């Protein structure tokens, strides 16, 4: 959890924006020719705007304004060279404003949503070496938007309708029981479809080709970016089964690396003195958090801790925990008992409960003051009919440090007795972090250093690595081999607190 913005809307059956896709023919912003799309341009703008908000609530923005403006300025310079900004491009496209966002996630990922939303994660930024590489990544994503690839794909797959709900991905990613989560949440896996969208190889190739062209025209040394695609191949090879979506939905990194090198030769002859921008770039990411940020939530020895907010609670044994920007979701191994912890909307537990009932449009079967451990709280229970049967939803609100929090639990009506005690043991265990080492835990940050002499890369690394990372990850982050010799004067990204 990073923020206290309530995300009540996300677990309930509300805020559903359903837009029916059909078939529309509109001029392409890329080529000017008519192309067929699943959504009108207006619908795409609406889809993007709504999903963007959900995405921000769910992943959280990386809290560094200077870095965000830097990414935006690089993005804008590439966008200015794109087909969206040509004088003969239809006005509806030409006036499209873009939002470039840095998301607070350690996963290496970049993606776009229809209507001008482009995202890079801090995990991806850590892996780039210079501004030219960033430009090519942003150019690729800008092209997905300009070419309206999502809309074209919607037409191909005949989705029928896309429902987009703020924060809705939790059900699927956590439970591993898609049907259960989908049916309860009434989502049909739609946000997932949107975010893990496979555009197809032709669309990806188009994005690489145009992304490189726009970056070259913006003055960047695009040949530099090939090294990054080499890193992507190394990350995939290391990650094995859990491929970040940006890689799994794209053609092989090797194929892309080759294509970029080829394009770089073609464009290289047309522009002189292209910009690499290594010093500028590394200066911007010096101090960037790498790996998971334990301050926004960490699971250790059967407990969930939130050092920034100062609280902890127990995890039932064997349950999975998923920590997101505005919530923590706990799921039992079968995926049939779910507990979601998040901020409540209201000054008191009772007010938060009332607001929850009003916004969720649930019919409470029971509500009133309760004792949660040593705290006074307020609980509300409802039965919700879903296509997989009746679910019992209970939300317990409590006060802590001037904020109201809620533990929302649900299970089928038949199975609820099995889970009641487990659920209440979690909310009862809620309290202040006692352990001072955990209270003061700090994230690991990138530190940019300059090699003072030629030496093996591995000799520049310290002994401490962020949780889940090792020296091989640092080699990939630096786009070098672990045993390679690094020249004196080369800038390196190492870790330090
Ligand atoms: Zn792509």
Write out pLDDT tens, residues 290-324.
Answer: 988 999 999 999 999 999 999 999 999 999 888 88
Output the CA 269–ligand 1 centroid distance in Å: 26
Say what the pLDDT of residue 158 is.
52
Output the CA 343–ligand 1 centroid distance in Å: 34
The two tokens of residue 447 are: 């530190």
Instruction: Give CA–CA dist 232/254, Å, rounded.
Output: 9
Indicate the pLDDT class of residue 198, thresholds 50, 70 and 90: low
DSSP assignment of 1-24 equals -------HHHHTT-S-EEEE---E
Output the CA 207–ligand 1 centroid distance in Å: 6
Output the CA 480–ligand 1 centroid distance in Å: 24
Output the CA 334–ligand 1 centroid distance in Å: 34
> What's the gap between Cα 94 and its chain centre?
28
Output the CA 232–ligand 1 centroid distance in Å: 13
Output the CA 249–ligand 1 centroid distance in Å: 7
Say what the pLDDT of residue 69 is.
98
Closest-CA residue to 324 (of 473, 149, 171, 143): 171
Output the CA 258–ligand 1 centroid distance in Å: 16
Instruction: Give CA–CA dist 23/491, Å, rounded.
Output: 51
pTM for the model stands at 0.81
Please compute, for residue 383, the number of CA atoms within 13 A of its CA located in the half-sphere on the CB side: 9
Output the CA 140–ligand 1 centroid distance in Å: 6
Instruction: Give CA–CA dist 471/482, Å, rounded.
Output: 7
Output the CA 23–ligand 1 centroid distance in Å: 23
Mean pLDDT of 394-418: 92
Output the CA 42–ligand 1 centroid distance in Å: 22
Output the CA 246–ligand 1 centroid distance in Å: 7
Residues 6 or more apart whose CB falls under 8 angstroms from that of 408 comprise: 11, 339, 340, 341, 342, 393, 394, 395, 396
Furthest CA-CA distance within the chain: 74
Instruction: Specify whether domain 294-439 bears CATH 3.40.1000.10.
Output: yes
Output the CA 474–ligand 1 centroid distance in Å: 25
CA end-to-end distance (rounded Å), the chain: 21
Output the CA 139–ligand 1 centroid distance in Å: 10
Of 18-32, 258-272, 328-342, 383-397, which gets the smallest average pLDDT? 18-32
Output the CA 40–ligand 1 centroid distance in Å: 21
Instruction: Give CA–CA dist 278/284, Å, rounded.
Output: 10
Report the mean per-residue pLDDT for the chain: 83
Please check the confidence at residue 448 and state whether its pLDDT lies above 80. Answer: yes
Mean pLDDT of 37-57: 86
Tokens 């989908």 locate to 182
Q: What percent of the chain has pLDDT over 70?
A: 84
Output the CA 245–ligand 1 centroid distance in Å: 10
Closest-CA residue to 262 (of 219, 181, 346, 205): 205
Q: Which helix (H) or strand (E) holds 36?
A: strand 34-37
Which of the given ranges, 78-87, 182-191, 199-208, has the highest pLDDT on average? 78-87
Instruction: Give CA–CA dist 90/353, Å, rounded.
Output: 49
What burial letters (b/e) apply to 113-131, b meaning 16+ CB within 10 Å? bbbbbbbbbbbbbbbbbbb
Mean pLDDT of 16-28: 69
Output the CA 49–ligand 1 centroid distance in Å: 20
Please check the confidence at residue 478 and state whether its pLDDT lies above 60. Answer: yes
Output the CA 361–ligand 1 centroid distance in Å: 39
Of 12-21, 64-73, 284-293, 384-393, which gets the smallest average pLDDT? 12-21
Say what the pLDDT of residue 180 is.
35
Output the CA 194–ligand 1 centroid distance in Å: 13
More confident residue, 110 or 350: 350
Instruction: Give CA–CA dist 491/489, Å, rounded.
Output: 6
Output the CA 206–ligand 1 centroid distance in Å: 9
Q: Which helix (H) or strand (E) holds 162?
A: strand 161-164
Mean pLDDT of 83-112: 91
Output the CA 51–ligand 1 centroid distance in Å: 18
Per-residue HEC secondary structure of 55-86 comes to: HHHHHCECCCHHHHHHHHHHHHHHHCCCHHHC
Neighbours of ion ligand 1 (CB under 5 A): 204, 207
Please check the confidence at residue 7 and state whether its pLDDT lies above 60. Answer: no
Instruction: Give CA–CA dist 292/424, Å, rounded.
Output: 28
Of 14-23, 201-210, 215-224, which gets the smallest average pLDDT? 14-23
Output the CA 114–ligand 1 centroid distance in Å: 13
């Amino acid at each position: 959890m990073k923020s206290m913005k309530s995300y009540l809307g996300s677990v309930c059956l509300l805020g559903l924006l359903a837009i029916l896709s059909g078939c529309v023919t509109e001029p392409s912003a890329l080529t000017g020719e008519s192309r067929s799309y699943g959504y009108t341009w207006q619908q795409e703008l609406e889809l993007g705007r709504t999903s963007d908000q959900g995405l921000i609530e769910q992943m959280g923005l990386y809290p560094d304004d200077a870095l965000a403006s830097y990414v935006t300025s690089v993005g804008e310079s590439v966008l200015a060279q794109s087909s969206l900004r040509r004088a003969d491009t239809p006005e509806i496209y030409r006036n499209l404003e873009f939002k470039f966002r840095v998301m607070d996630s350690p996963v290496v990922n970049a993606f776009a949503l229809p209507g001008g939303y482009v995202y890079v994660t801090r995990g991806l930024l850590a892996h780039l070496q210079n501004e030219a590489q960033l430009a090519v990544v942003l150019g690729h994503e800008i092209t997905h938007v300009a070419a309206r690839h999502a809309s074209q794909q919607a037409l191909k797959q005949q989705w029928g309708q896309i429902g987009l709900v703020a924060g809705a991905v939790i059900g699927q990613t956590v439970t591993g029981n898609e049907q259960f989560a989908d049916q309860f949440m009434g989502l049909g896996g739609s946000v997932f479809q949107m975010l893990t969208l496979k555009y197809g190889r032709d669309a990806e190739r188009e994005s690489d080709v145009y992304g490189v062209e726009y970056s070259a025209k913006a003055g960047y040394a695009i040949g530099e970016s090939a090294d990054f695609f080499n890193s992507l191949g190394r990350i995939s090879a290391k990650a094995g089964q859990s491929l970040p979506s940006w890689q799994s939905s794209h053609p092989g990194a090797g194929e892309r690396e080759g294509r970029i090198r080829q394009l770089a030769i073609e464009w290289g002859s047309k522009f002189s003195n292209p910009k690499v921008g290594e010093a500028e770039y590394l200066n911007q990411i010096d101090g960037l958090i790498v790996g998971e940020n334990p301050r926004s939530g960490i699971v250790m020895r059967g407990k969930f801790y939130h050092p920034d907010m100062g609280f902890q609670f127990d995890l039932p044994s064997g349950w999975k925990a998923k920590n997101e920007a505005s919530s923590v979701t706990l799921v039992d191994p079968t995926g049939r008992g779910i507990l979601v912890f998040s901020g409540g909307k209201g000054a008191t537990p009772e007010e938060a409960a009332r607001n929850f009932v009003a916004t969720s449009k649930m019919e409470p079967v029971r509500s009133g003051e309760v004792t949660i451990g040593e705290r006074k709280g307020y609980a509300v229970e409802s039965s919700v009919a879903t296509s997989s049967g009746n679910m019992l939803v209970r939300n317990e609100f409590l006060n802590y440090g001037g904020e109201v929090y809620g533990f929302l639990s649900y299970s089928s009506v038949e199975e609820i007795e099995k889970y009641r005690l487990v659920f209440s043991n979690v909310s009862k265990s809620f309290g202040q972090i006692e352990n001072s080492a955990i209270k003061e835990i700090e994230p690991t940050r990138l530190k940019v250093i300059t090699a003072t002499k030629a030496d093996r890369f591995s000799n520049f690394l310290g002994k401490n690595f962020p949780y889940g990372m090792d020296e091989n990850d640092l080699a990939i982050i630096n786009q070098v081999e672990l045993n390679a010799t690094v020249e004196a004067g080369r800038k390196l990204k190492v870790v330090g607190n």
